[in-house]
Amino acid sequence: MRRLSRHALFWPLATLALLLVLNSCFNPAFLALSWRDGHLYGHLIDILKNAAPLMVVALGMTLVIAVRGLDISVGAVVAIAAAVATLLTGGSFNAGGEVASEHPLWLALGAALLVAAACGLWNGVLVVKAGMQPIVATLILMVAGRGIAQLLTGGQIITVYYPPFFAIGSGFLAGLPIALWIAAGLWGVLHLALSRSALGLFIRAIGGNPEAARVAGVRSAAITLCVYTFCGLAAGVAGLIVSSNVKSADANNAGQLFELDAILAVTLGGTALTGGRFTLAGTVVGALIIQTLTSTIYSLGVPPEVNLVVKAALVFAVMLLQSAEFRSLFTRRAAADPGAPR
Amino acid sequence: MTDAAIVLRARDICRAFPGVQALDGVQLTLRAGEVHALMGQNGAGKSTLIRLLTGVYQPDAGNIELLDRAVAPRSPLHAQQLGISAVHQESHLLPNLSVAENICAGRYPRKPWTRGGGIDWRETRRRAHELLARLGIDIDVDQLAGGLPAALQQLAAVARAVAGDARVLILDEPTSSLDADEVRALFALIRKLRDQGVAILFVTHFLDQVYEICDRITVLRNGRFVGEYACAKLDAPGLVAAMVGRELAGTSGAVAHARPEGAATPALSARNVARRGQLRAMDVEIRPGEILGVAGLLGSGRTELARLLFGLDPRDSGDIEIDGKTVRLEQPADAVLLGLGFCPEDRKHSGIVAELSVRENIALALQARMGLRKFLDPAAQRALAEKLVAALGIRTPGIEAPIGQLSGGNQQKAIIARWLATHPRVLILDEPTRGIDVAAKQELMNEIRALANGGTAVLFISAEIDEVVRVSDRILVLRDRAKAGELPGGAGEDAVYSLIVAS
């Protein structure tokens, strides 16, 4: 039991389990799953599906934080990618009543991802080459990015009518949401890249002691650039999921406050904000905790006007539960007892 | 000495860490008005004992008495309130605060509530000034601590430590980054404090300093108490024998020279390398199997030369040839690919990655050289680390222990192991013996010699000229950031000194 509770993922998972139990107390049908129209239905599936964009963004954020960085522009990049994808897809009814897309779907999605990756690269260049503080460097794009997205959409909400586009955010594959498959796929790819190549060691070395990593011959600058680029790309993927899910792009609101939720998810998962120590699985659990919190607030029937206050209180409680110092307040007395077996 | 003068007595102190019994029944007695040396090899338990006295750790067993009263320091702050202060190797002043603010940190004088109750900065400065004046230290209290030379920071740190009426002052390798004059200034301060009745515990690796300033010596070995001796009754060979548990063979003798004659092309040849404000243009050549020693005073350009050759700092001019071919060497990653290795002077800041394991720290440079795609999988890393840990005798609870938990000398060995793993053509060692005890130094020198005999070209930088003379095949002497001259191996220390001071 002691060994179990020392595992890095123990407290994030315990927190998630607690939230799920809390929910099923208020709503007995909460944990129920059913099979309808060839795929799974239920609150849990909704949570997984709705958490997917946050998971994707937070995975990118995890790596950035692991190399002692921070990217607060991800919300704006979500909006930019959403704008590019919806603009290029568009859709209009042709003579036969069929819906045609403005440009081929692959081009629209590819362009959106390319632009998002370029945004990440821009952040990386500011941090690595210009030596800016990460929070300041990405603040620039956080502010400017929404402006760019608004410019692209002309201040309008761009609506898409081309059905194949909707599959990304609301489609199902093998009974599960496609968005979830995307997030899981990204996690799998990252996990392989970090455990089957030297990337994981390099990232932890850079995060742990950048100067020592450089002296040891690690190409810190190049790796850091890649990490920021990947974070932008991940935000772009999230942008596709978000815009596909709502079949439109709203430059003002798409990805709003995503950066904060992503940082929170990373922290909840047990990644150190000081860099070096990180866990991808923890981040995924962190994202699920946040999404479950949101569902909890709905299922508790909290009125919208106190929504944020309740969320803040829950986040506060969750963070306290995860704080080793706070927990030690309760365990110290037992440990200090000399008679207790160790 | 009567027992009335005893200030601090630690009895039968034990402390274990996962996998290591760091201290096992250690005794320590400090007396008022005495300087007491704590000696032992790396990993003997000196640092652990200090951390117990200053409340960083708590002992598993044993007791500490301060002025005949049992105490149990819970934290460094608590220890300070009890009257036990410590100054560590790297002074812990806050670089962005003024000297006065540093000295009074944590006990700022307050204005009376009638005047707002804020911090009384004028009184802060006055107190700091008065304290420094009393100790005979000449520092402007308004200067930022970060702007002071290391030596003055060290003095200010001592002043801060004794500001709160310390009964016991612990100095943990305070001289390791100071030159001779600075050491003299520090010793003057220590004597003054001693005469004021402070009990001083002094940790160092320099034997001559022990005999210069200390009255008694406590020796630890492998976490056990070896004995307490009066300085006058234990000579240096006896002290070394007590520390290592055996007589050191050939400590002062030259390491066997096996100079390869006529090795054709230099392994590394640098022509005209220079960097403005750091190093004036100079040529350097090292042949395979040769140890080129670099001697010079602090600030003579020793470290700067190493950094330029390894690509850590950009050079303004100069070409570098490896094995006779001109190469592009702009950053450390290039240097590593070309087969260079570099053990930096500042182990903590640019050597170890503290929270990574010994295994990962050892594998890091080799992996960096192999690049991202060719992956040294954990099993291969483990095999490599096990081999090198055994070969260099690195004392660690295991290869998966975070390297930050190892003692300084073992961290240094692990960094050398990191480079040995890459089978370097050229290995640059900047002060590899700093902060390492006598026996480990000798082992390290033998290791370096063996490496050179295997064909590696070694650039050996050290502030200790006897070391340079002993190990080098050729000696490069630097003065004022330029080459002062070169001496053949076997040249005496006097020859080196005369080049260093010649004008």
Percent of chain B with pLDDT over 90: 36
User: pLDDT value at position B174?
Assistant: 82
pLDDT at B354 over 60: yes
Closest partner residue to A209 among B310, B352, B368, by Cβ?
B352
Contact B419, B451 (CB under 8 A): no
| Greater pLDDT, A303 or A210 | A210
User: pLDDT value at position A94?
Assistant: 62
For residue A28, give both structure tokens: 């007995």
- Residue to test with chain A: of B308, B329, B340, B355, most A Cβ within 10 A: B355
pLDDT at B105 over 50: yes
CA B63/CA B69 separation, integer angstroms:
10
CA A16/CA A22 separation, integer angstroms:
10
For residue B428, give both structure tokens: 């640059």
Closest partner residue to A197 among B342, B365, B375, by Cβ?
B375
Residue A109 confidence class, pLDDT cut points 50, 70, 90 = very high
Closest partner residue to A199 among B310, B332, B372, by Cβ?
B372
The per-residue b/e assignment along A102-123, b for 16 or more CB within 10 angstroms, e otherwise, is beebeebbebbbebbbbbbbbb
- What pLDDT digit, counting tens, does each position of B286-337 carry? 999 999 999 887 678 888 999 999 999 999 998 999 988 899 999 999 999 9
Residue in the structure block whose two tokens are 């860490």: B17
| Greater pLDDT, A102 or B26 | B26
Contact A251, A269 (CB under 8 A): no
CATH of the domain at B216: 3.40.50.300
| Greater pLDDT, B56 or B500 | B56
Same domain, B317 and B465: yes
Secondary structure (3-state) at A143 = helix
Secondary structure (3-state) at B447 = helix
Same domain, B192 and B48: yes
* CA–CA–CA angle A2, A5, A7 (5° rounding): 115
Phi-psi map region of B27: left, alpha, beta (phi>0 left; psi -120 to 50 alpha): beta
CA B203/CA B223 separation, integer angstroms:
15
- Residue to test with chain A: of B310, B330, B356, B415, most A Cβ within 10 A: B356
The beta strands (E) that lie in A109-210 are given as: 158-159, 172-173, 176-177
Contact B420, B412 (CB under 8 A): no
Contacts of B371 in chain A (CB under 8 A): 198
The beta strands (E) that lie in B370-456 are given as: 426-430
Closest partner residue to B352 among A198, A204, A212, by Cβ?
A212
* Cross-chain Cβ contact B368/A216 below 8 Å: yes
pLDDT at B360 over 80: yes
CA B312/CA B305 separation, integer angstroms:
10
Give the residue from B399, B423, B447 where a domain finishes: B423
Average pLDDT, chain A: 86
Give the residue from B223, B251, B279 where a domain finishes: B251
Residue B1 confidence class, pLDDT cut points 50, 70, 90 = very low
Please tell me the distance in Å from A277's CA to the nearest CA on chain B: 8
The per-residue b/e assignment along A139-153, b for 16 or more CB within 10 angstroms, e otherwise, is bbbbeebbebbbebb
pLDDT at A98 over 70: no
Same domain, B150 and B183: no
Please check whether residue B345 lies inside any domain of the structure: no
- What pLDDT digit, counting tens, does each position of A57-80 carry? 999 999 999 999 999 999 999 999
Same domain, B169 and B153: no
A213 touches chain B (CB under 8 A): yes
Q: Could you tell me which of A105, A64, A121, A44 has the C-alpha nearest to residue A276?
A: A64
User: pLDDT value at position A133?
Assistant: 93
Instruction: Write out the residue range of the structural domain in which residue B276 sits.
Output: 266-339+425-503
User: pLDDT value at position A5?
Assistant: 66
Contacts of B306 in chain A (CB under 8 A): none
- Residue to test with chain B: of A215, A218, A227, A278, most B Cβ within 10 A: A215
pLDDT at A174 over 70: yes
Contacts of A216 in chain B (CB under 8 A): 332, 336, 364-365, 368, 418
- Compute the half-sphere exposure of residue B383: CA atoms within 13 Å on the CB side of its CA: 4
Same domain, B159 and B173: no
- Residue to test with chain A: of B74, B372, B382, B430, most A Cβ within 10 A: B372
The β-bridge partners of B357 are B402
Please check whether residue A318 lies inside any domain of the structure: no
B402 touches chain A (CB under 8 A): no
DSSP string, A109-121: HHHHHHHHHHHHH
Find the DSSP H helices in A67-133: 74-89, 105-128
The residue in chain A having the minimum alpha-carbon distance to the alpha carbon of residue B348 is A212
pLDDT at A128 over 70: yes
CA B384/CA B401 separation, integer angstroms:
15
User: pLDDT value at position A338?
Assistant: 42
Same domain, B333 and B429: yes
Contact B198, B32 (CB under 8 A): yes
CA B317/CA B323 separation, integer angstroms:
20
- What pLDDT digit, counting tens, does each position of B431-488 carry? 888 767 777 778 788 888 888 988 899 999 988 888 888 889 999 999 888 888 888 8
Same domain, B185 and B286: no
CA B177/CA B157 separation, integer angstroms:
14
Closest partner residue to A218 among B310, B335, B368, by Cβ?
B368
* Cross-chain Cβ contact A214/B312 below 8 Å: yes
- Residue to test with chain A: of B360, B364, B373, most A Cβ within 10 A: B364
Instruction: Write out the residue range of the structural domain in which residue A94 sits.
Output: 53-256
Please check whether residue B207 lies inside any domain of the structure: yes
Contact B158, B56 (CB under 8 A): no
User: pLDDT value at position B248?
Assistant: 47
User: pLDDT value at position A271?
Assistant: 87
3-state SS, B296-365, equals CCCCCCHHHHHHHHHCCCCCCEEEEEECCEEECCCCHHHHHHCCEEEECCCHHHHCCCCCCEHHHHHHHH
Hey, which of A106-110, A115-119, B437-441, B477-481 has the most confident mean pLDDT?
A: A115-119
Same domain, B32 and B55: yes
Contacts of A201 in chain B (CB under 8 A): 356, 360, 363-364, 367
For chains A and B, count residue pairs whose Cβ atoms are closer than 8 Å. 81
For residue B282, give both structure tokens: 């100079």
Mean of pLDDT values over A248-277: 86
Contacts of A129 in chain B (CB under 8 A): none
Same domain, B171 and B79: yes
For residue B311, give both structure tokens: 């690509």
Q: Which of residues 36-95 of A touch B (CB under 8 A)?
A: none
* Cross-chain Cβ contact A208/B365 below 8 Å: no
* CA–CA–CA angle B406, A331, B15 (5° rounding): 30
Hey, which of B43-47, B255-259, B386-390 has the most confident mean pLDDT?
A: B386-390
Hey, which of A225-229, B236-240, B414-418 has the most confident mean pLDDT?
A: A225-229
Contact B174, B186 (CB under 8 A): yes
Same domain, B355 and B502: no
* CA–CA–CA angle B388, B394, B397 (5° rounding): 110
B372 touches chain A (CB under 8 A): yes
Please check whether residue A24 lies inside any domain of the structure: no
User: pLDDT value at position A213?
Assistant: 95
Give the residue from B164, B189, B223 where a domain finishes: B164
Please tell me the distance in Å from B350's CA to the nearest CA on chain A: 4
The residue in chain A having the minimum alpha-carbon distance to the alpha carbon of residue B332 is A217
- Residue to test with chain B: of A201, A224, A332, most B Cβ within 10 A: A201
CA B281/CA B279 separation, integer angstroms:
6
Residue B158 makes CB contacts below 8 A (sequence gap 6+) with: B87, B135, B169, B171, B174, B186, B189, B190, B193
Q: pTM for this one?
A: 0.76
Please check whether residue B261 lies inside any domain of the structure: no
Mean of pLDDT values over B369-375: 87
Mean of pLDDT values over A183-205: 93
Bridge-based pairing state of the strands B279-286 and B61-66: unpaired
Contacts of B364 in chain A (CB under 8 A): 201, 205, 213, 216, 218
CA B356/CA A15 separation, integer angstroms:
28
Residue A337 confidence class, pLDDT cut points 50, 70, 90 = very low
Residue B260 is classified by DSSP as P
Residue A187 makes CB contacts below 8 A (sequence gap 6+) with: A55, A59, A280, A281, A284
φ/ψ of B139, rounded to 5, equals: -135, 140
CA B461/CA A235 separation, integer angstroms:
49
Residue B106 makes CB contacts below 8 A (sequence gap 6+) with: B77
Contact B200, B193 (CB under 8 A): yes
Contact B361, B353 (CB under 8 A): yes
Cα torsion angle, B262, B265, B270, B271, sign: positive
A218 touches chain B (CB under 8 A): yes
Please check whether residue B35 lies inside any domain of the structure: yes
Same domain, B30 and B172: yes
CA A43/CA A24 separation, integer angstroms:
10
Closest partner residue to A208 among B310, B354, B363, by Cβ?
B354
Residue in the structure block whose two tokens are 């603040």: A139
* Cross-chain Cβ contact B332/A217 below 8 Å: yes
Same domain, B233 and B378: no
- Looking at the structure of chain B, the number of domains it has is 4
Mean of pLDDT values over A153-179: 85
The residue in chain A having the minimum alpha-carbon distance to the alpha carbon of residue B313 is A215
Please check whether residue B233 lies inside any domain of the structure: yes
Mean of pLDDT values over B353-357: 92
pLDDT at A105 over 90: no
pLDDT at A335 over 60: no
A335 touches chain B (CB under 8 A): no
* CA–CA–CA angle A284, A289, A293 (5° rounding): 150
Task: Give the Å distances, CA to CA, from B266 to A294, B31, B269, B321, B495.
Answer: 68, 57, 6, 8, 25
- Looking at the structure of chain A, the number of domains it has is 1
Q: Could you tell me which of A240, A239, A220, A216 has the C-alpha nearest to residue A145?
A: A239
CA B503/CA B497 separation, integer angstroms:
12
φ/ψ of B321, rounded to 5, equals: -115, 135
